[in-house]
């Protein structure tokens, strides 16, 4: 394999490619908010979310300490695009220069949408352990609660970003992405997440590029770092 030459660049964004997460939270009036984002990563049963400090999702999550992380599949681009430049914050209507990300949203055409489910055509589904609803169309839905809030870019003049640590309490998945013969495994050949890379939406190639040495480890070996088996899960004999 030939190695191409490297060059120094200064990218304005660093979205190298991560799954699209639709975060559902509860507004102060009891209605639901949905926010599409992709600054998320998992370790064990914890997920770190990178959000604007004054976004409606951040405000809701800090107030209620609850959310649902709904993972979009690669056939859900239309719904994601319907939500992409919307906000649940009325402040965007009057945001002025100096108001950081809220002003950025106003200047880039974000619209205040009070009913995100109706606007996107998505379907709410009742959660089991948290108040915010799940999104029925998403193949993976993780009920979660807030465990930590960390201010980012503390050394920079332009602040305004927050890292939120949430713990997954219960996971719901569509039956067609489960691995046959296993009660708690997802079949990566059947699960096709929607990926955002430099603002564009992509799907994964629907085949493995090569064998993974890491995949030789039984997934249950990671159980001590994650949640215990949920009582609601079918046993392998029932699958």
Tell me which CATH code domain 18-225 carries. Answer: 2.30.110.10
pLDDT at 30: 97
For residues 65 and 132, give the distance between their C-alpha atoms in angstroms, rounded to a whole number.
10
Would you write out the chain's pLDDT as a tens digit for each of its 239 residues? 899 999 999 898 898 999 999 999 999 999 999 999 999 999 999 999 999 988 999 999 999 999 999 999 999 999 999 999 999 988 888 888 877 777 888 888 889 999 999 999 999 999 999 999 999 999 999 999 999 999 998 887 766 899 999 999 999 999 999 999 999 999 999 999 999 999 999 998 777 777 876 788 888 887 887 888 887 765 555 65
Measuring CA to CA, which residue among 18, 137, 12, 142 is closest to residue 82? 137
Report the 10 Å Cβ neighbour count for 132: 24
Phi first, then psi: give them for residue 225, nearest 5 degrees.
-95, 0
Enter the pTM of the model: 0.90
Helix (H, G, I), strand (E, B) or coil at 36: strand
Helix (H) or strand (E) holding 101: helix 101-107
Q: Are 32 and 124 in contact (CB under 8 A)?
A: yes
Hey, where are the domains in the chain? 18-225
As a whole number of angstroms, the distance between CA 177 and CA 187 comes to 6
What does 153-217 look like in DSSP terms, one character per residue?
Answer: -TTSSS--EEEEEEEEEEEEE-GGGBPTT-SS-B-TTT--BEEEETTEEEE--SS-SS--SGGGS
């Amino acid at each position: 394999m030939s190695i191409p030459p490297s060059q120094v660049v200064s990218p304005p964004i660093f979205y190298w490619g991560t799954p699209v997460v639709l975060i559902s939270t509860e507004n102060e009036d009891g209605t639901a908010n949905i926010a599409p984002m992709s600054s998320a990563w998992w370790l064990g049963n914890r997920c770190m979310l990178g959000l604007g400090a004054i976004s409606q999702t951040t405000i809701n999550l800090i107030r209620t300490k609850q959310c649902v992380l709904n993972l979009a599949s690669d056939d859900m681009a239309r719904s994601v695009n319907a939500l992409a430049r919307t906000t649940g914050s009325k402040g965007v209507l009057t945001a002025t220069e100096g108001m950081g990300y809220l002003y950025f949203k106003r200047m880039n055409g974000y619209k205040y949408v009070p009913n995100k489910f109706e606007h996107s055509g998505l379907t709410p589904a009742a959660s089991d352990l948290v108040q915010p609803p799940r999104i029925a169309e998403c193949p993976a839905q993780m009920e979660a609660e807030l465990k930590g809030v960390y201010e980012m870019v503390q050394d920079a003049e332009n602040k305004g970003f927050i890292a939120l640590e949430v713990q997954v309490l219960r996971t719901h998945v569509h039956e067609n992405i489960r691995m046959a013969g296993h009660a708690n495994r997802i079949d990566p050949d059947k699960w096709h997440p929607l990926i955002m890379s430099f603002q564009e939406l992509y799907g994964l190639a629907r085949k493995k590029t090569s064998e993974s040495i890491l995949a030789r480890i039984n997934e249950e070996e990671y159980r001590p770092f994650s949640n215990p088996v949920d009582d609601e899960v079918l046993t392998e004999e029932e699958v």
